[in-house]
Amino acid sequence: MKKPKPTSNHPVWEYAQSVAQVSAGTILGITMLASSVVAGGLVGLALSFRNLPDVRVLRNYIPSETSYIYDVNGTLLDSIHDEANREVVELNTVSPNLKRAVLAIEDSYFFSHHGINPSGIARALLANLEEGQTVEGGSTVTMQLVKNLFLTPERNISRKIAEAVLSLRLEQVFTKDQIFEMYLNQVYWGHNTYGAETAARSYFNKHASELNLAEASMMAGLIQAPEVYSPFVNYQKAKERQAIVLDRMQRIGWATPQEVAEAKAAPIKLGEITSFRASQAPYITDAVVQELTSRFGREAVLQGGMRVQTTIDLNLQRKAEETVRDGIASIQSQGIYADQMSLVAVDPRTHFVKAMVGGVDYSKSQYNRAIQALRQPGSAFKPFVYYAAFASGKYTPDSTIMDTPVSYPDGDGYYTPQNYDGSFYGAMSIRQALAQSRNIPAIRLGQDVGINRVIEVCRTLGIKSPMEPVTSLPLGAVDLTPLEMAGAYATFANGGWHSETTTIVQVTDSKGNVLLDNTPQPQLVLDPWAVAALNSTLQDVVNRGTATAARLDRPTAGKTGTTSSERDIWFVGYVPQLAAAVWVGNDDYSPIGKGATGGGYVAPVWRNFMTKALDGVPVETFKPMSNFVRP
Residues of the chain with pLDDT > 90, as a percent, come to: 76
State the pLDDT confidence band at 247, using cuts at 50, 70 and 90: very high
pLDDT of residue 122: 65
pLDDT of residue 250: 96
pLDDT of residue 12: 46
pLDDT of residue 133: 60
What is the chain's Cα-based Rg? 34
State the pLDDT confidence band at 147, using cuts at 50, 70 and 90: confident
Helix axes 528-544, 482-493, angle to 10 degrees: 110
State the pLDDT confidence band at 300, using cuts at 50, 70 and 90: very high
pLDDT of residue 137: 53
Burial of 474 (0-12, 13-18, 19+ CB in 10 A): buried
State the pLDDT confidence band at 156, using cuts at 50, 70 and 90: low
State the pLDDT confidence band at 162, using cuts at 50, 70 and 90: confident
pLDDT of residue 154: 64
Lowest average pLDDT, out of 139-153, 211-225, 227-241, 530-544, goes to 139-153
Q: Which residues contact 485 (CB under 8 A, 6 or more apart)?
A: 344, 377, 380, 570, 572, 581, 583
CATH number of 11-48+88-265: 1.10.3810.10
State the pLDDT confidence band at 52, using cuts at 50, 70 and 90: confident
Burial of 390 (0-12, 13-18, 19+ CB in 10 A): buried
Look at the alpha carbons of 502, 505, 511, 513 in this order and tell me if their dihedral is positive or negative: positive
Catalytic residue among 64, 379, 437, 472: 379
pLDDT of residue 25: 38
Two domains, one topology: 11-48+88-265 and 316-627 = no
Give the model confidence (pLDDT) of 581-610 as tens digits. Answer: 999 999 999 999 888 999 999 999 999 999
Within 13 Å, how many C-alpha atoms sit on residue 309's CB side?
Answer: 17
Strand pairing category for 85-86 and 193-194: parallel
Decide if pLDDT at 46 tops 50.
no
Respond yes or no: is residue 275 known to be catalytic.
Answer: no
Decide if pLDDT at 411 tops 80.
no
Average pLDDT, the chain: 89
The domain defined by 316-627 carries CATH number 3.40.50.2300: no
Whole-model pTM over 0.95: no
Give the model confidence (pLDDT) of 93-128 as tens digits. Answer: 999 999 999 999 999 999 999 888 877 666 656 666
Q: What is the mean pLDDT of residues 147-151?
A: 79
Cα of 401 vs its chain's centroid, Å: 49
pLDDT of residue 15: 42
Residues of the chain with pLDDT > 70, as a percent, come to: 87
State the pLDDT confidence band at 164, using cuts at 50, 70 and 90: confident
Within 13 Å, how many C-alpha atoms sit on residue 433's CB side?
Answer: 30
What is the residue-wise DSSP string for 284-302? HHHHHHHHHHHHH-HHHHH
Domain ranges of the chain: 11-48+88-265, 316-627
Respond yes or no: is residue 379 known to be catalytic.
Answer: yes
pLDDT of residue 302: 93
d(CA 598, CA 561): 5
State the pLDDT confidence band at 152, using cuts at 50, 70 and 90: low
Q: Is 151 helix (H, G, I), strand (E, B) or coil?
A: coil
Catalytic residue among 65, 106, 484, 566: 106
State the pLDDT confidence band at 38, using cuts at 50, 70 and 90: very low
Lowest average pLDDT, out of 131-135, 140-144, 467-471, goes to 131-135
Q: For residue 47, give Cα distances in angstroms to 52, 165, 601.
A: 10, 10, 80
Decide if pLDDT at 310 tops 80.
yes
Give the model confidence (pLDDT) of 11-26 as tens digits. Answer: 444 444 444 343 333 3
d(CA 230, CA 239): 10
Give the model confidence (pLDDT) of 472-491 as tens digits. Answer: 999 999 999 999 999 999 99
- Amino acid occupying residue 194: Y
pLDDT of residue 23: 38
pLDDT of residue 594: 87
Phi, psi of 342 (to 5 degrees): -135, 145
Instruction: Mark out the alpha helices in 230-303 (DSSP H runs).
Output: 235-251, 257-265, 282-296, 298-303
- Amino acid occupying residue 15: Y
Give the model confidence (pLDDT) of 318-364 as tens digits. Answer: 999 999 999 999 999 998 999 999 999 999 999 999 999 999 999 99
- Amino acid occupying residue 275: S
State the pLDDT confidence band at 506, using cuts at 50, 70 and 90: very high
